[in-house]
Amino acid sequence: MKRLTLLRHAKSGWDDPSLPDFERALNARGRRAALVVGKHAQQRALGFDWVVASPAVRVRETLDIFLAELDPPTPDPVWDRRAYLASAATLLDIVRETPADVRHLLLAGHNPGMEELALLLAQGQRDPVYAEVAEKYPTATMACLRLDCDAWGDAAFGSALIERLIRPRDLDPELGPDEHD
């Protein structure tokens, strides 16, 4: 059995319309959400053996804040350009390339790919957690999945169970939804 946590980057700013999408940084609300979700991951002792992430600025900043809350520290992220605005199929390829000795992978990136990957990996799951993911996967949200396989290369759509969905608003009501989540 393998564990996979999917983390969508925290809320970014739209203040400078001339800035390329890749370069957008977190706004104050996003920094706060990344901190709250990181503290929650520490409290739950999630512990990640491997981290792969989009190199976009907003993902880097999310992970800087999120990972700083974890003890023991996690390995430095592997910045994979393929994860930037990736499809679920591309993200699954990244998951399948995870080193064999890794038990818990943290994959950080963007929507709609993160949400689609969670839903496709858990294809066939019909419960409230799955329904919550299908309804909305807001910024700084984590989906924790259990993959029913012994090797990352065997990960496939329909091979996982979404065990938990952690949204910033569940941890701090002031981080509730707005029109851009």
User: In this structure, what CATH number is given to the domain that contains residue 50?
Assistant: 3.40.50.1240
Q: Count how many domains the chain has.
A: 1
Asked, for residue 179, whether it belongs to a domain, the answer is: no
Asked, for residue 102, whether it belongs to a domain, the answer is: yes
Asked, for residue 73, whether it belongs to a domain, the answer is: yes
Work out the average pLDDT over 33-47: 96
The C-alpha angle 38, 44, 47, rounded to 5 degrees, equals: 70
Asked, for residue 94, whether it belongs to a domain, the answer is: yes
CA 8 – CA 112 distance, rounded (Å): 9
Backbone phi and psi for residue 113, each to the nearest 5 degrees, phi listed first: -60, -40
* DSSP notation for 85-134: T--HHHHHHHHHTS-TT-SEEEEEE-TTHHHHHHHHHTTT--SHHHHHHH
* pLDDT tens profile 6-31: 999 999 998 888 899 999 999 999 99
pLDDT value at residue 17: 86
Please, which residues have CB within 8 angstroms of residue 78's CB and are 6 or more apart in sequence? Answer: 50, 51, 52, 53
The range of the structural domain enclosing residue 75 comes to: 2-14+21-112+120-174
Asked, for residue 180, whether it belongs to a domain, the answer is: no
Lowest-confidence pick of 13-22, 48-57, 95-104: 13-22
Q: Place 138 in a pLDDT band, splitting at 50, 70 and 90.
A: very high
Asked, for residue 134, whether it belongs to a domain, the answer is: yes
Q: Which residue has the higher pLDDT, 56 or 17?
A: 56
Work out the average pLDDT over 40-47: 94
pLDDT value at residue 115: 98
pTM to 2 decimals?
A: 0.95
Neighbouring-strand partners of residue 51: 106
CA 20 – CA 44 distance, rounded (Å): 36
Neighbour count for residue 102 (Cβ, 10 Å)? 17
Asked whether the CA dihedral 103, 109, 111, 112 is positive or negative, the reply is negative
Asked, for residue 181, whether it belongs to a domain, the answer is: no
β-strand 50-53 against 78-79: which pairing, if any? parallel
Contact 53, 108 (CB under 8 A): yes
pLDDT value at residue 29: 95
Asked, for residue 70, whether it belongs to a domain, the answer is: yes
